[in-house]
């Protein structure tokens, strides 16, 4: 049984890496896989290529490089395509779109029998809880493990806890590879502005590093995890404390912000000294604690003991600690992995595709 896949966002970093993995690692080869992948569609933000029989490797590589294909008006064109098929098509969302992609996800799940795998957290973080439940209620139709921690097992584990009636009382962790890198480098007495420049140069940050420092990306991940555990959560219902004070963000653009970053050097030097006096380090921590049956969410920079689970994190690694009836505060369930990375994300999208197979066979 072949798995027919249509990748939207195929010319972006994640999408292009996924295309390369599928072809170069033999996913399309029926002699290697009992359930080979057949890429039938690839789309950029404005053009696409499509073939029922499958797109050849050379044609896929050429599209990723040139973006030359048929123009499309909107994602509605792909909904129309999905309605012509039965249930044998999986759309992969490798974009960072919000509203247009949310509408697309709702139509595919609600109006067709096709399925979705998404690395894009926006449709399930910005939507309301009712919509989240609608999209994710059938695990064999909607895979979203890559929306948090590049596809480490936090999402499926929390979903499983919910289904075995062991919903977590606490979720706590560091979900940003960028901010993890910055805080661990601060321990080496390097100025904040120098660390930030290195992070940008190494590609650890978003194109605009202010999008990492405002904390909203971490907050979106916390919402997805909280919802996966079976609790209603909404971005508008809790305060996100940014990594740096709001007054330092610049509307004038990236250049202006980077030039002013040294104004924060003295602040972080003081904060690090205070932390060291307490045998602690700084970490940007996201947490969910249940009070009664209500999830209380918080995202902020704080001190944690240096020898603790979160304090021992280094570089861009992410870690999540989960406490439930089975996993105590002293011995929480720990999920650790790269917070980002194109190869890691692409591989875990492929894992999600495996979980969506109706009859998965081992070659």
DSSP for 83-118? HHS-S-EEEEE-S--SHHHHHHHHHHHHHSS-EEEE
Helix residue ranges, H only, the chain: 13-24, 57-66, 76-84, 99-111, 122-126, 129-136, 154-163, 177-186, 192-201, 210-213, 216-228, 254-260, 265-277, 342-355
221 contacts 286 by C-beta, under 8 angstroms = yes
Residues in the chain with pLDDT < 70?
363
| 170-338 belongs to CATH 3.30.360.10 | yes
Q: Between 342-355 and 13-24, two packed helices, what is the crossing angle to 10 degrees?
A: 60
What is the layout of strands, in order, in the sheet containing 294-305? 294-305, 280-291, 170-174, 317-323, 333-338
The answer to whether 216 and 110 are in contact (CB under 8 A) is no
Could you tell me the residue ranges of all domains in the chain?
3-152+343-355, 170-338
CATH label, 3-152+343-355, candidates 3.40.50.720, 3.40.630.30, 1.10.287.3510, 1.10.150.120: 3.40.50.720
Instruction: List the one residue out of 48, 95, 87 whose CA is nearest residue 70.
Output: 48
- The pLDDT value given to residue 116: 98
Tokens 């896929």, residue?
60
**What distance lies between CA 66 and its chain's CA centroid?**
27
Q: What is the pLDDT of residue 272?
A: 97
Q: How many CA atoms within 13 Å lie on the side-chain side of 207?
A: 3
For residue 169, what pLDDT is reported? Answer: 98
Quote the pLDDT of residue 330: 95
Q: What is the pLDDT of residue 301?
A: 98
* pLDDT score recorded for residue 361: 72
Q: What is the pLDDT of residue 151?
A: 78
How long is the chain? 363
């Amino acid at each position: 049984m072949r798995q027919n896949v249509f990748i939207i966002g195929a010319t972006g970093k994640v999408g292009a890496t996924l295309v390369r993995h599928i072809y170069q690692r033999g996913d399309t080869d029926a002699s290697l896989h009992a359930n080979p992948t057949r890429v039938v569609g690839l789309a950029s933000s404005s053009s696409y290529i499509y073939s029922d029989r499958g797109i050849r490797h050379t044609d896929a590589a050429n599209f990723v490089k040139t973006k030359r294909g048929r123009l499309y008006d909107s994602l509605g064109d792909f909904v129309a395509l999905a309605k012509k098929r039965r249930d044998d098509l999986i759309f992969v969302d490798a974009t960072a779109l919000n509203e247009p992609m949310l509408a697309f996800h709702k139509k595919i799940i609600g109006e067709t029998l096709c399925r979705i795998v998404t690395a894009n957290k926006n449709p399930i973080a910005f939507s309301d809880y009712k919509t989240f439940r609608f999209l994710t209620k059938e695990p064999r139709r909607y895979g979203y493990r890559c929306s948090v921690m590049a596809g480490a097992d936090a999402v499926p584990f929390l979903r499983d806890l919910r289904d075995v009636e062991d919903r977590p009382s606490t979720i706590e962790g560091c979900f940003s590879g960028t901010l993890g890198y910055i805080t661990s480098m601060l321990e080496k007495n390097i100025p904040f502005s120098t660390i930030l420049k290195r992070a940008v140069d190494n590609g650890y940050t978003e194109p605009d590093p202010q999008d990492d420092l405002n904390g909203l990306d971490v907050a979106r991940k916390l919402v997805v995890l909280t919802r996966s555990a079976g609790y209603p959560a909404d971005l508008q219902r809790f305060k996100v404390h940014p990594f740096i004070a709001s007054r330092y963000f610049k509307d004038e653009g990236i250049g202006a912000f980077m030039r002013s970053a040294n104004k924060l050097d003295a602040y972080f030097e003081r904060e690090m000294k205070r932390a060291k006096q307490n045998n602690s380090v700084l970490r940007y921590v996201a947490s969910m604690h249940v009070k009664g049956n209500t999830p209380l969410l918080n995202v902020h920079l704080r001190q944690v003991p240096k020898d603790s689970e979160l304090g021992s994190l280094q570089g861009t690694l992410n870690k999540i600690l989960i406490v439930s009836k089975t996993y105590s505060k002293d011995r929480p369930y720990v999920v650790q992995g790269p917070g980002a990375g194109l190869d890691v994300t692409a591989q875990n999208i492929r894992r999600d595709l495996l979980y969506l197979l109706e009859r998965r066979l081992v070659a």
